[in-house]
Amino acid sequence: MTEKGSGPVARTVLQQCLQARLQVKPAEENSEAQFVQIDRGMVIYICFFKGATDDILPKMVSTLLNLRLCESDSGKMVSVLELPGSLLIVPQATLGGKAKGRAMQYHNNISKEDGLRLYRRLCFSV
């Protein structure tokens, strides 16, 4: 996603899936690991860059939900809304990294606090 007259303010990677499972809490001495799981749909990995604001979210949500990435039972390319399908949205700060030598730098990423706030707003918007 880019704002007019500026560089990108977010990067997404979309992956269609028949099923996806993500561990959200590791197993501990007194409890089992916790997972979230979806059936057919799309996994969205998201990273917000400096300059990202709440203003980008409506267009981002519309684009992500209406993009014809999924294949229907009839073979036609449809949006996740037309399947119907599920979404798993994963914050992924490494999408904002740039390789410098053998190390990664994340100078363009938004702060953790602002990124978490935008991520939560994005999840609430879908």
What are the DSSP calls for 73-119, one per residue? TTS-EE-TTTTT-EEEEEE-GGGG-EEETTEEE-TTBPPHHHHHHHH
**Alpha carbon distances (Å) from 63 to 56, 79, 99, 113:** 11, 10, 28, 25
Q: Report CA Rg, the chain.
A: 16
pLDDT of residue 6: 72
Three-class SS state of 120: helix
Q: Structural domains in the chain?
A: 10-124 (3.50.80.10)
pTM: 0.89
18-39: pLDDT as tens digits: 999 999 999 999 999 999 999 9
Which ranges of the chain have pLDDT less than 70?
Answer: 1-5
Q: How many CB atoms lie within 10 A of CB 60?
A: 22
Q: For residue 72, give both structure tokens.
A: 């229907």
pLDDT of residue 3: 57
Question: Which residues lie below 8 Å from residue 98, measured CB to CB, with a gap of 6+?
Answer: 104, 105, 106, 107, 108
